[in-house]
A = this chain, B = another copy of it.
Amino acid sequence: MELKVFSEKLVNALKSNQTCSFFCLCKINYSGRAEAELDEGERLIVIKSDNTLLVHQDLGSNPVNYMKADTKIDVLFVKGGILIQTHNQKYKDYLDIFVKDVFNFDSRKLEDGKKLVLVGTEKDMSDMIRDNPSIIFDDFRPLSREEHTRYGFIDVFGHDGEGNFVVVECKRYVAGLSAVQQLRRYVEKMVELRGLDIGSVKGVLAAPSITASAEVMLKDWGFDFVSVNPPRRLEKFNKNQKSLGDY
């Protein structure tokens, strides 16, 4: 594609806040939170209506370079090509794309008011535990859930039949050392602020599984592990599989 034509299309699309997508030959410089260089090669570039910019190579989930929303984007003619010069005020960073060749250009104002509905998060796990407290142990009595307390952000908080406090930390995947430390921090903070004996506050880590070293640390601190899976995993898919014709 003629660079002049590309430039006009890009400028118009940016003006009207369309989302753009194009393949091009380019090299890239980034400066801000770090410094990065990417030598000449072919990439897919996406610019969204909120002025998010993504540069994708042909492998991997993540963009090789990007700028976050509200980036100022200028298009300049320079010797040998076009310079897309960008700057984000909030993050104080800069990305320059020197475009040598463009292979296509598409843009569109995307009409989309829908939001993703997601189930199976850590929050859903803590909901499930609140509604089914015996998952943790028989006489567990939850008092609150997902609360920013002065002890920290505790997933599920409650007490046992003997009046001891119980702090539950949920993880939706295998719990590691940092999860144990997180639990430890909440328990310690609670002991400290309430002037309790260490040992009078129970700590429970609820996750699908736990690493060996994390389990050692957990035991050292007198905490317990309970194997819990995030709710609804695969349920919906199984339903859909049975009714593909419903699409």
Chain A contacts to B: CB under 8 angstroms? 19, 21, 23, 29, 31-44, 46, 48-50, 52, 54, 56-61, 63-66, 68-69, 78-81, 83, 92, 94, 96, 98, 103-104, 106, 108-121, 172-173, 177-178, 181-182, 184-185, 230, 232-237, 240, 244-245, 247
Q: For the complex formed, measure the closest distance between the CB of A142 and the CB atoms of chain B, giving whole angstroms.
A: 23
Identity of the chain B residue whose Cβ is nearest the Cβ of A17 in the assembled complex: B58
- B37 and A110 within 8 A (CB): no
A46-B44 contact, Cβ under 8 Å, with A54-B61, A119-B36, A177-B185: yes
A35-B69 contact, Cβ under 8 Å, with A19-B58, A103-B108, A112-B42: no
7 CB contacts below 8 A, A to B, read A21-B106, A23-B110, A32-B233, A35-B233, A36-B116, A38-B115, A50-B59
Q: How far is the CA of A78 from the CA of B244 in the complex (A)?
A: 9
B residues in contact with A81, CB < 8 Å: 247
How many copies the complex holds: the figure is 2
Q: How far is the CA of A52 from the CA of B122 in the complex (A)?
A: 25
Q: For the complex formed, measure the closest distance between the CB of A246 and the CB atoms of chain B, giving whole angstroms.
A: 9
B residues in contact with A23, CB < 8 Å: 19, 21, 106, 108, 110
Q: How far is the CA of A23 from the CA of B109 in the complex (A)?
A: 10
Q: For the complex formed, measure the closest distance between the CB of A51 and the CB atoms of chain B, giving whole angstroms.
A: 10
For A81, A94, A104, A237, the residue with the greatest tally of chain B CB atoms inside 10 Å of its CB is A237
B residues in contact with A42, CB < 8 Å: 108, 110-112
For A36, A78, A104, A116, the residue with the greatest tally of chain B CB atoms inside 10 Å of its CB is A116
- B236 and A35 within 8 A (CB): yes
Identity of the chain B residue whose Cβ is nearest the Cβ of A108 in the assembled complex: B23
For A40, A106, A172, the residue with the greatest tally of chain B CB atoms inside 10 Å of its CB is A106
- A60 and B52 within 8 A (CB): yes
- Which of B29, B34, B60, B117 contacts A233, CB < 8 Å? B34
